[in-house]
Structure 1
Amino acid sequence: MWSELLPGVLERAHRSDFYRSRFGARPPQASPGEFARIPLTTKDDLRARYPFGMVAVPRRDLASYHESSGTSVGGATGSFHTAGDWEEMLDRFERGRQDLTDADTVLVRVPYAMVTIGHQVHGAARRAGALVVPADARSTAMTHRRVLGLLRDLRVTVAAALPTEPLLWAACAQLLGESPRAYAPDLRMIVATGEPLSAARRRRIAHLWDCDVTVSYGNSECGSNLAGECPHGTLHLWADRYLPEVLDPDTGTTAPQGRGRLVVTTLRREAMPLVRYDTGDAVELSYDPCPCGWALPSVRVLGRWEQGVRIEGRRLFVSEVEEAVYALPPELGVLFWRAHAHEGALTVRVEAEPSVADRVESLLKAEVERLAGPGCAVQVLAPGTLVDREELVRSSHIAKPRYLSSGPGAPSGLMYPAPAAAGAPS
């Protein structure tokens, strides 16, 4: 399939200023050997050609412009889409197991500006005939307390959000003296997107809200949704829409599967075709059979490669530390954490009530040492240290938290909902 589509992909890409400059007078051949010699496209390439240097269609054919959330080093990257790109994007999203219908009320609690995912969920919900609640994650009017009210009053059945959000809602509900489920009696599913989600955190969210949790993985510059879940809950990369490669950053070589940085070539993109684009995401990609029968690789998203830390001779990613934290028994009540690596040792900080602090420290330390070796430390902090509960009720701002950091000195600015002060590490 890829061999049939690649000539057209390279021809479309050659219509952009960037790839015309890179390829020369004509696009390269789509043979495996010549394709593998094409240099990787990077986020810096996109930034350097801002705004229109990557566009491969006439300006009149462009339907929308978006940017990434800017969480990678170097800032946001731009992305254009045609109307046809949007149809194809919604088709990919609808493949996932969220199964939206006209009986659903869908709360969209992700940013609408400037990323694509909010518009994608909104569009897919409307195509299904669902009622949409556009509870933008960056609106000053949409506090966490307000979100709880909407979940309850509008009988929301599906909520799309960063995986951090349902934990913040749960803490807010508890502060207000209610269980999370009391605010969401009809909630059947949370669609988690925008951050890696470990199996343990997924189980914790499902336990808190007594509902199913599904994952949508992607990024704005590639056309949003790169992967979705099959009926068995396995995250599959849409390899009929993207040609995936796994890059070993140490050797610069790529393989069809394995552990490394995800590189993709867009197979159907019109406005902004990308050839061998280095997403910067650390993944594990596998073609092992799945019970669903889909002929698509499974993908485990580990985090941003650049944000991994070196511990015990290996690179450790945020989802791996997260797995250890949320493997703690739910009755211990641990919701929030941060970790910092320095001089080969990892320190994990979590919030817990004093009555269970010793047990939390003992259990988590065993998990952290299994993961990152001896010499690692666990600090159990009083509730409200990482997430100020009173500010949680008042705040409306949500940024992606930086859970795992490294370097001399632990970072400040640990508050989840509020942006870090100017000049403070995030």
Structure 2
Amino acid sequence: MPTSLEERELKLRELLSLLPNSPLYRDKLEGYDTSRIALADIRSLPLTTKAELRTAGAFGYLAVPKEQIAQYHESTGTTGEPSVSWFTLEDIATGGRQLRECGVNLASDDLVLIRFPYAMSLPAFLMQDACWATGAGIVPASGRTVVTPYPRVLELMKRLGVTVIAGLPREMELLAEAARLLGQQPSWDYPSLRAICVAGELLSDARRRHIERLWGVPVFNMYGSTETANIAVMCEQGVLHVREQDFIVEVLTEDGGHSVAEGERGYAAITTLSHRASPLLRYYNEDIVAVAPHRCSCGRSGASLTHYGRAKDRMTFGTTTLDAHDVQEAVYSLVPAPDAWKVIEQERGLHVLLDSHRSEQWSEESVGIQLSRWLRVPVTVEIAADGVLLDRDGLLRNVPSTKPIYIQRFARTADPVRELLDRGRELFMSGDYSGAKTAFEEAIVVNERNAESHAWLAAAYGRLIEAGNMQAKIKLLPIFENEVRTALEIDPLHPFARRMNGSRLLNTPESLGGNPALAAEEFQYSLAHGLDDADLWVQLGQCYVKLGRGDQALEAIQAALRREPDHRKARRLMEALQEEDE
């Protein structure tokens, strides 16, 4: 059944009444009148960042009494401090319900082998609840343990007639390779198997098709995290549908201040509408996603979601930006697809290590040419020696798997200015403009000739001016204008500095140097150089209104609404323009 707007509005009100029970949100939402917030107003509330969750600690965003807690979970923490979450019994049931919407359509005659790790991680327990709720039986063959090595899991699958496997995508690949080493053909030797469910790792379409070829059954993906539980599930048509009764998924620009256009890549901000124990508001989880409305023949109404990977894995070479999804699509499109692989970022391109039991079919030179063409960056290829990427002997012995590193980033020299800018932007996103201002000022102390630092400092002053009284506006405006001028003196072509200059020219009275025509040129320059969000189009529209160019103003506001349909200022301007036409 489609989720109604009224149901989502009610759930948002319930969430906003629950959040102040946690120490984090009690402080974070102080001064906000949340009783007046509707779905269309959610962008007026602050983002929640990973840094804030780490600072809050395990109990910092617990929103229910300890007596109501049923389970505690942590991520592996292999790439930093672990992510944590708390669950009531109701939360576990909600997570199970989310998974039951998967296109695998679990039934009482299914026997599901759960290969997700049971130690601390979340997916095994949600899958277990989903099975129990449908009457399906489970075989708890946890991964990454000496209790259930690969040969034993394969023996269990065959002897018990397992119909569904659920686990990490990598576990599905390793099980298939172990079966091959045992003289089996996975797509023929497990006739009871009808489907595979995966979660916990990035799964591009090419990787999903590869696993389907290995096992001869459909693969269904599930997208979520330890902090949020399951956000989207894949239907029978291969579409990841957002569970809109349980989540609001925003897709934002890198600074978190604006929405991107429907279907465009951006940074996810997740609001958990149904989670009780450790709810989250606009959680900026550092994942790159795209979300778009989707009329699907499966009958599910949730928007489609594409996951492109973590922001930490995003690589930029000149004008080419690569996400982990792009790399996966290229690697798994090779013939043969590799049994194991690793990409090493270099200063001007990529070095790719590949392993396959069919590696004699590869030529390092030809594969390098293919990958260079697909990824649009220079790629060198090395066929790895046996055991470097994959310990095949270990697959047949009692050796548990470990979390692989698929992308190894280039070890650049530490840049204190970049670290301060990143910290300042994170504070800016969370609504702490005074803290952001301090971080940007510290970046300028380290290098006063950095245009980006001055432009971001101007942005922080701009937000403080918006929120301040008349006395504060008079005091801060000259500082804002000076930072814009300084940024442009250092780098007159910097897009963000040009945008800030456009804001200065637009919002300053013409008698004091404002110029909407020049402001429009600055905004057009910013758009042409990669800054594309609803607020920027609104500002361009405001310029055209001041210049009396109604048709161009209308086009700009329409562009803003395509990127963010609920943008309040854009809607007001649209109504004003339509009234003028009447």
Q: What TM-score results when the alignment is normalised by the length of structure 1? A: 0.88
**Matches of 2:365 and 2:171 in 1, distance apart?**
25
Which residue of 1 is the match for residue 533 of structure 2? none
- 2:263 paired with 1:260: no
Structure 1 256/17 Cα, relative in aligned 2: closer, same or farther at 3 Å? farther
Q: Which residue of 2 aligns with 1:242?
A: 247
What's the CA shift for 1:312?
3.9
* Partner Cα distance (1:245, 1:120) in 2: 24
Aligned to 2:12: 6
Give the deviation of 1:134 after TM superposition. 0.5
Contact 1:156 1:186 in 2 (8 A): yes
312, 315, 318: which one aligns with 1:309? 315
Partner of 1:338: 342
Partners of 2:57 and 2:307 in 1: CA distance: 28
Deviates more, 1:377-386 or 1:232-241: 377-386
- 1:27 CA drift (Å): 4.9
**Alignment partner of 2:382 out of 367, 379, 383:** 379
When the two chains are superposed, the root-mean-square deviation of aligned CA atoms in Å is: 2.2
Secondary structure at the counterpart of residue 368 of structure 1 = helix
Alignment of 1:57-136 (within 5 A): 57-72=64-79, 74-136=80-142
Query: Counterpart amino acid of 1:69?
Result: T
CA contact (8 A) 1:346 1:372 kept: no
2-structure distance, mates of 1:123, 1:253 = 37
Q: Distance in 1 between matches of 2:16 and 2:261?
A: 20
Name the CA shift for 1:209/1:361 in 2 (closer, same or farther; >3 Å): farther
> Structure 1: how far apart are the matches of 2:46 and 2:99?
30
Query: Is 1:154 aligned to 2:157, yes or no?
Result: no
8 A Cα contact 1:125 1:131, kept in partner: yes
The residue type equivalent to 1:337 in the other structure is W
Q: 1:255 to 1:5 in 2, by over 3 A?
A: farther
Which structure features the higher share of strand residues? Answer: 1
Q: 1:85 to 1:32 in 2, by over 3 A?
A: closer
Give the AA of the match of 1:357.
W
Say which SS state the counterpart of residue 160 (structure 1) adopts. strand
How far off is 1:8 after superposition? 2.2
When Rg is computed on C-alpha atoms for both structures, the one with the higher figure is 2
Aligned partner of residue 223 in structure 2, secondary structure:
strand
Structure 1 segment 209-288 matched on structure 2, within 5 A: 209-222=215-228, 224-250=229-255, 252-255=257-260, 257=262, 258-288=264-294
Conserved 8 A contact 2:254-2:266: yes
> Residues 218-246 of structure 1, C-alpha deviation per residue, up to 9 Å, x if partnerless?
11111x11100123221111122111111
Cross-structure match for 2:453: none
Equivalent AA in structure 1 for residue 151 of structure 2: R
Aligned equivalent of 2:409: 406
1:27-85 CA-to-partner distances (Å, cap 9, x unmatched) read 5331467532322112222222222221112221121111123244x311211111221
Highest RCO, 1 vs 2 (Cα 8 Å, sep ≥ 6): 1
Following TM superposition, by how much is the alpha carbon of 1:357 offset from its aligned partner in structure 2, in angstroms?
2.4
TM-score scaled by length of structure 2: 0.66
Q: Report the Cα distance in structure 1 between the residues aligned to 2:125 and 2:182, rounded to whole angstroms.
A: 31
Q: Please give the alpha-carbon distance, in whole angstroms, between the structure 2 residues aligned to 1:160 and 1:65.
A: 21
Structure 2: how far apart are the matches of 1:403 and 1:278?
A: 23
Q: Which amino acid aligns with 2:63?
A: A
Unaligned residue ranges in structure 1 (runs of 5+):
410-426
Partner of 1:367: 370
> 1:347 aligns to what?
351
Aligned residue in 1 for 2:527: none
Letter aligned with residue 383 of structure 2: V
Measured against aligned partners, the alpha-carbon deviations of 1:303-328 in whole angstroms (never above 9, x if no partner) come to: 11112222343331222111112212
1:202 to 1:354, Cα distance in 2 relative to 1, 3 A: closer
Letter in 1 for 2:62: V
C-alpha separation between the residues in 1 aligned to 2:93 and 2:184?
A: 41
* 8 Å contact kept, 1:107–1:158: yes
> Does the C-alpha gap of structure 1 residues 235 and 32 become closer, same or farther in structure 2, counting only changes over 3 Å?
closer
* Cα shift at 1:95: 0.8
C-alpha change, 1:290 and 1:311, in structure 2 (3 Å) is farther
Structure 1 position 214, deviation (Å): 0.6
| Aligned partners of 1:349 and 1:379 also within 8 Å | yes
What does the per-residue CA deviation read over 1:186-208, in whole Å, with 9 as the maximum and x for residues that have no partner? 11111011111111111111111
* Cα distance in 2 for residues equivalent to 1:370 and 1:134: 43
2:560 equivalent in structure 1: none
Amino acid at match of 2:380: A
Question: Number of residues paired by the alignment?
Answer: 403
Letter of the structure 2 residue corresponding to residue 394 of structure 1? R
> What do residues 397-417 of structure 1 show as CA deviations (whole Å, max 9, x unaligned)?
2333221121149xxxxxxxx
Q: Structure 1, residues 328-377: CA drift from partner, whole Å, max 9, x if none?
A: 23xx363211111111301111114453122x752x33432123325221
Alignment counterpart, residue 37 of structure 1, candidates 27, 35, 44: 44
Letter in 2 for 1:243: I
Alpha-carbon contact 2:260-2:266 (below 8 Å) kept: no
Partner of 2:542: none
Corresponding letter in the other structure for 2:247: Y
Q: Secondary structure at the match of 2:370?
A: helix
Aligned residue among 163, 166, 170 for 1:164: 170
Conservation of the 8 A alpha-carbon contact between 1:167 and 1:335: yes
SS in 1 for 2:238: coil
Does structure 2 conserve the Cα–Cα contact (< 8 Å) formed by 1:339 and 1:405? Answer: yes
> SS of the counterpart of 2:48?
coil
CA pair 54-384 structure 1, distance change in 2 beyond 3 A: same
What is the distance in 1 between the residues matched to 2:58 and 2:307?
Answer: 29
Indicate conservation of the 8 Å contact 1:65/1:79, yes or no: yes
Change (3 A) 1:171 1:165: same
Partners in 1 of 2:66 and 2:411 — Cα distance? 48
Shift in Å, 1:381: 2.7
More helix by share: 2
List, as ranges, runs of 4+ consecutive aligned residues in structure 1 with deviation greater than 6 Å: none
Identical-pair percentage: 34
